[in-house]
Chains A and B, each alone.
Chain A
Amino acid sequence: MHDFVVVWSERALLLRGLGNTILLSLAASVAAFALGALVALVLMSSKSVYRRLFAGFVDAMRCVPFLLFAYIVYYGLPSFGLNLDNWSAGLAALTIYNTAYLAEILRGAWLAQPVDPIDAGYAFGFTGLGHFRRIVLPPLLLSAAPVVGNQIIQIVKDSAFLTVIALPELTHAASSIQSRHYVPFAAFITAVLLYWTLCLVIEACVASIGRLAEARR
């Protein structure tokens, strides 16, 4: 019990760590989503050279452990003259890695869309960006929400790996508290409960999007 009081006294550090985790995950999610959408477009295009290149990239990322990839970005890039600090390296690794996964997810969601409503859009005179924005995108986003939500949870968990490159996210904060005050149980249990809460919040958002989708099915 006393241990938890100690953790509470360090709550500023813990909350900063939580904030960094949220910031990192959010930034990586948004960036990976945007880039993943572009990569998905390339994967479905007819220019076979680019398609095969990016398909190879996606397959590679799916076979590589994230931690190893993070190490390569952080320790390996300096060999090419690119010196990144731990924040940039962490964000870059998280983004690039999940771009591949989100590209696959979005490609799958795209292929699963029924063709008729899209053709109907054209038949009614929608074209170009307007067509994409009003006819194609909404059902696509609604159907992809659960899988994308899962991937965002995965991003939050992967962010914890970045503690190894001394990025001050939540696990790093908990680790620091436990090493200074010798309260490992309290510190890490608190971290676990905070991660769980984050996860439940994301799942709740996905569920509410799901309800929106159900009403429109």
Chain B
Amino acid sequence: MSTADILAILQGAVTTASLSGAAILLGLPLGLLLALTRWARVPIVAPLVAVYVSILRATPLVTLLLLLFFALPNIGVPIGAVAAAVLALTMNTSAFNCEVWRAGLMNFPKDQYEAAQSVGMQAGLRLRTIVLPQVVRICLPGLVNEMSLLIKVTPVLAVVGVVDITRAAVRIGAETYEPLPPFFVALAIYVPLVYAIVSLQRLTERRLARAEAE
């Protein structure tokens, strides 16, 4: 494997990182929005959200990606590989995030919420000042876990031609007839990355447990 090959893989790493980053940044608030819709029991929309989340959690990412990439242009929405990839990742992660947020919201102590109502705080103010600051802390471990899962499914982007780490490694292996070395380089990038996020998750869990105990 030449340096050019290693650079190609690193370039793939940049692609992986930026696409995952975009999906995480979009998926977190979207998941919260979906969870809030169900929590507030918005008529018509809430049951639709429930069905949407259920389907997305059951759908393999590769199937979703192929659906978006091939079907959207077919019904008149032109979409490129990168856009389809970000959209698929975002839809996927938002569905799982929704369940994490929802668990936090459902378990929120009722009497704190009523105290906010009793002093005349409106819904938006109640959410901003009382509910969200606490729910964010509680949901953090679950959300960080979701981030590590997201990174682990990014190789699927190769299926629509996005050159991420895995696709770069596969290509180099096909060219050099030595598939293993580029795969090991790929591992050397993924494993520390995922391990770092998992450690972050364990750290936030421990911090949370300590704060609860006080």
Contacts and interface: CB of A to CB of B under 8 A. Distances in A.
B187 A175 contact: no
B62 A79 contact: no
A71 B187 CA distance: 12
Most buried by A among B75, B178, B180, B195: B180
B108 to A, nearest CB: 23
Contacts of A198: 58
Contacts of A182: 74
Interface string B168-188: 011001000011100100110
Interface residues on A, range: 35 or more
Consensus secondary structure, chain A interface: helix
A11 interface: no
B153 A65 contact: yes
A132 interface: no
A76 B180 contact: yes
B70 interface: yes
A176 to B, nearest CB: 11
Contacts of B70: 178, 184-185, 188
Contacts, number: 123
Secondary structure of the B side of the interface? helix
Contact of B67 (A63, A75, A156, A188): A188
Contacts of B158: 67, 164
A132 to B, nearest CB: 32
B155 A63 contact: no
A109 B155 CA distance: 31
A185 B60 CA distance: 16
Nearest to A59: B195
A31 interface: no
Interface of B: 54-55, 57-64, 66-67, 70-71, 74-75, 151-156, 158-159, 165-166, 169-170, 173, 178-180, 183, 186-187, 190-191, 194-195, 198
16 contacts: A59-B195, A62-B194, A65-B154, A65-B190, A71-B183, A76-B179, A79-B179, A79-B180, A157-B59, A178-B70, A184-B66, A185-B70, A191-B67, A192-B63, A196-B58, A198-B58
The 5 residue pairs across chains A and B that have the minimum distance between CB atoms: A160-B60, A184-B70, A199-B58, A188-B67, A67-B155
Interface of A: 59-60, 62-68, 71-72, 75-76, 78-79, 153, 156-161, 163-164, 170-171, 174-175, 178, 182, 184-185, 188-189, 191-192, 195-196, 198-200
